[in-house]
Amino acid sequence: SQQGEEDPQALSIQEGENATMNCSYKTSINNLQWYRQNSGRGLVHLILIRSNEREKHSGRLRVTLDTSKKSSSLLITASRAADTASYFCATDGSGGYNKLIFGAGTRLAVHP
Amino acid sequence: DAGVIQSPRHEVTEMGQEVTLRCKPISGHNSLFWYRQTMMRGLELLIYFNNNVPIDDSGMPEDRFSAKMPNASFSTLKIQPSEPRDSAVYFCASSDLGHPRRDQPQHFGDGTRLSIL
What would the pLDDT profile of B12-67 be if each residue is shown by its tens digit? 999 999 999 999 999 999 899 999 999 999 999 999 999 999 999 999 988 999 99
Residue A101: its chain B contacts at CB < 8 A?
Answer: 45
A96: pLDDT strictly greater than 70:
no
Q: Give the model's pLDDT for residue A1.
A: 43
Cross-chain CB nearest to B103 (options A50, A99, A103): A50
* B99 Cβ contact partners less than 8 Å away, ≥ 6 residues apart: none
Residue A65: its chain B contacts at CB < 8 A?
Answer: none
Q: How confident is the model at residue A2 (pLDDT cuts 50, 70, 90)?
A: very low
d(CA B109, CA B4): 5
Q: In terms of Cα–Cα distance, which of A57, A70, A60 is closest to A22?
A: A70
Q: What 3-state class would DSSP assign to B85?
A: helix
- For chain A, the helix, strand and coil percentages under 3-state DSSP, each to the nearest 5: 5, 55, 40
Q: What is the mean pLDDT of chain A?
A: 91
What would the pLDDT profile of A12-48 be if each residue is shown by its tens digit? 999 999 999 999 998 888 889 999 999 999 999 999 9
d(CA B66, CA B68): 7
H/E element, B56: strand B53-56
Mean pLDDT computed over A48-68: 95
Handedness of CA B69, B49, B73, B8 (dihedral sign): positive
Q: Do B105 and A31 touch (CB under 8 A)?
A: no
Residue A20 identity (one-letter amino acid): T
Q: Give the model's pLDDT for residue A5.
A: 79
Q: In terms of Cα–Cα distance, which of B47, B117, B60 is closest to B83?
A: B117
Q: Give the model's pLDDT for residue A83.
A: 98
The region of weakest confidence among A73-82, B68-77, B91-100 is B91-100
